[in-house]
């Protein structure tokens, strides 16, 4: 006599569980082979299970209404005579016995799914050498992001025994570069892992660029792009055209402008001026025009298309103006015809219209000579690029006190620096030098120059 456990079978189409609907036998009953034992309900149907044994019922492993798992005990029998070879029987006992198949759980379709409960253990040896040990990195402090680098640099650092996480990247966005590894290898302090960098916040005010307010360094985006249009495009086109067509050359000199300053002081507040204000630039403009009258060749342009040089006996004097929209260069028409007061008034009108943005296109074409005044920015000189189609452009630096030699004595005088770029295709160095020297003489003694007219 022996006990046999009847496991709930998968009734043919793959199931995980079944509910006991009705027992047809009781404990102690003697059953025959294939006698109906129980009605079970599955997801598919209600099925009557026949007995695989002849024997006595010892245990019913569930009550009516219980949901039983497939392949778990349903009934235990006591059987006489020769026991079947297995101590447990299920109707669909798998015919093959590889480990993976034995682990399968019955499902609706197919032979079943493999059991995936509990923690899996490796069933295969690690690949590679058995000596290799993987360091448990999770116990180490973990950076919010992996150090950024390229694979070749990582290999390079590894080959030299450096942990790349300890390096301070100096490349773009903190990229650890080959140079950083080299620095670390040479012991340079820049790559010390304990280096603390105090990040300056920078100014918080905006600044002007291409006719707009730029965000402060600290709070603005890391990179910004602006469309090239409007005033910016005009400037870019004009400068590109000029720089790559007119061969530029320049002459410059320092000038004692003390008498110019004295003249301006002596004329200040005179009733004849009315509301007109005089500035050093007014005198410079008169001087430049006077130079053109003496050396008309400077008031010229190079007409490459027609193979001609054009000389004009009228000066349209361009004034480079820093406006809210950017750099524009309107001109004073027939500036050579203007006296001191008229020149001052014309300049005032020009600057006002430029700042207000009411300069008309007509006021920006036909320039023959140009003045750019960099003095207000506190610099001494500039090397300007010609507006296209003009012969020369004069840059005027700041008017500042400086040591100056007068009669072999060093004295304090107002001094400025003049720099003039010219189109070397038609203007040569000799002419340019004469023109600039003429301007300088004018500024050194403006009263005499005005007297001469």
Partner 1 sequence: MATQTMTMAKALNEGLRAAMEKNKKVLIMGEDVGKLGGVFRITDGLQKDFGEDRVIDAPLAESAIVGTAVGLAIRGYRTVCEIQFDGFVYPAFDQIVSQVAKLRKRSDGVYTMGLVIRIPFQGGIGAIEHHSESPEAYFAHTAGLRVVSCSTPNDAYWMIQQSIEHDDPIIFCEPKSRYWEKGEVNLDQPPNGLFDAVVRREGTDVTVVGYGSTVKTALRAADTAAQEGLSLEVIDARSLAPLDLETMAASLTKTGRLVVVQEAPHTASVGSEIVAALSERCFYSLRAPGVRVSGYHVPYPPTRIEEDYRPSVDRVLDAVDRVMGFDS
Among 82, 131, 146, 194, binds partner 1 (CB under 8 A): 146
Whole-number minimum distance, CB 43 to partner 1, in Å?
A: 5
Q: Specify the residue, 122 or 222, whose C-beta has the smaller distance to partner 1.
A: 122
Please provide the size of the chain in residues.
Answer: 453
Q: Specify the residue, 142 or 236, whose C-beta has the smaller distance to partner 1.
A: 142
Return the range that interacts with partner 1 (CB under 8 A); candidates 107-115, 210-218, 360-368, 400-408. Answer: 107-115
**160 included as an active-site residue:** no
222 binds partner 1 (CB under 8 A): no
Give Rg (Cα) of the chain.
Answer: 49
Whole-number minimum distance, CB 435 to partner 1, in Å?
A: 58
- Binding map of partner 1 across residues 26-55, x = CB under 8 A, - = no contact: -----------------xx-----------
Q: Specify the residue, 44 or 314, whose C-beta has the smaller distance to partner 1.
A: 44
110 binds partner 1 (CB under 8 A): yes
Angstrom distance (rounded) from CA 80 to CA 316: 129
At residue 449, φ and ψ (nearest 5 deg) are -65, -40
108 binds partner 1 (CB under 8 A): yes
Name the residue among 394, 420, 390, 373 with its Cα closest to residue 297.
390
139 binds partner 1 (CB under 8 A): yes
136 binds partner 1 (CB under 8 A): yes
Whole-number minimum distance, CB 94 to partner 1, in Å?
A: 9
Among 28, 81, 128, 453, binds partner 1 (CB under 8 A): 128
Name the residue among 177, 151, 147, 183 with its Cα closest to residue 163.
147
How far is CA 101 from each of CA 105, 115, 215, 223, 409, rounded to the nearest angstrom?
A: 9, 10, 68, 61, 111
340 binds partner 1 (CB under 8 A): no
Angstrom distance (rounded) from CA 337 to CA 289: 9
Whole-number minimum distance, CB 347 to partner 1, in Å?
A: 56
The contact set with partner 1 (CB under 8 A) reads 14, 16, 43-44, 96, 98, 100-101, 104-105, 107-114, 116, 119-124, 126-128, 132, 134-139, 142, 144-151, 154, 158, 164, 173, 175
Q: Which residues are catalytic?
A: 424
């Amino acid at each position: 006599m022996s006990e046999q456990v009847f496991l709930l079978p998968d009734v043919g189409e793959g199931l995980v569980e079944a509910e006991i609907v009705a027992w047809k036998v009781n404990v102690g009953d003697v059953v025959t082979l294939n006698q109906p034992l129980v009605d079970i309900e599955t997801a598919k149907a209600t099925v009557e299970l026949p007995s695989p044994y002849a024997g006595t019922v010892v245990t019913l492993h569930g009550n009516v209404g219980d949901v039983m798992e497939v392949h778990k005990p349903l009934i235990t029998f006591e059987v006489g005579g020769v026991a079947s070879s297995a101590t447990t029987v299920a109707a669909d006992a798998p015919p093959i016995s590889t480990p993976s198949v034995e682990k399968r759980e019955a499902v609706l379709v197919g032979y079943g799914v493999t059991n995936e409960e509990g923690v899996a253990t490796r069933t295969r040896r690690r690949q590679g050498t058995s000596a290799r040990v993987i360091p448990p990195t999770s116990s180490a402090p973990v950076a919010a992001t992996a150090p950024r680098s390229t694979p070749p640099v990582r290999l390079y650092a590894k080959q030299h025994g450096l942990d790349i996480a300890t390096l301070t990247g100096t490349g773009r966005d903190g990229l650890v570069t080959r140079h950083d590894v080299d620095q670390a290898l040479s012991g340079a302090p820049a790559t010390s892992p304990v280096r603390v960098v105090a990040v300056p916040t920078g100014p918080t005010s905006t600044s002007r660029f291409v006719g707009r307010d730029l965000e402060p360094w600290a709070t603005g985006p890391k990179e910004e792009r602006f469309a090239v249009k409007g005033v910016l495009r005009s400037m870019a086109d004009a400068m590109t055209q000029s720089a790559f067509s007119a061969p530029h050359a320049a002459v410059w000199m320092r000038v004692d402008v003390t008498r110019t300053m004295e003249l301006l002081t002596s004329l200040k507040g005179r009733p004849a001026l009315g509301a007109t204000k005089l500035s050093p630039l007014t005198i410079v403009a008169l001087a430049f025009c006077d130079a053109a009258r003496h050396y008309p060749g400077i008031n010229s342009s190079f007409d490459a298309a027609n193979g001609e040089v054009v000389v004009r006996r009228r000066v349209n004097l361009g004034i480079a103006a820093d406006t809210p929209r950017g750099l524009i260069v309107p001109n004073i028409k027939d500036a050579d015809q203007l006296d001191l007061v008229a020149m001052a008034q014309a300049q005032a009108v020009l600057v006002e219209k430029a700042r207000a943005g009411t300069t008309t296109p007509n006021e920006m074409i036909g320039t023959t000579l140009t003045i750019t005044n960099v003095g207000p920015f506190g610099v001494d000189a500039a090397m300007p690029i010609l507006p296209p189609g003009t012969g020369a452009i004069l840059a005027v630096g700041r008017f500042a006190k400086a040591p100056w030699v007068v009669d072999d004595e060093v004295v304090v005088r107002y001094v400025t620096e003049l720099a003039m770029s010219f189109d070397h295709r038609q203007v040569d160095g000799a002419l340019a030098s004469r023109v600039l020297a003429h301007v300088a003489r004018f500024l050194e003694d403006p009263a005499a120059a005005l007297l001469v007219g």
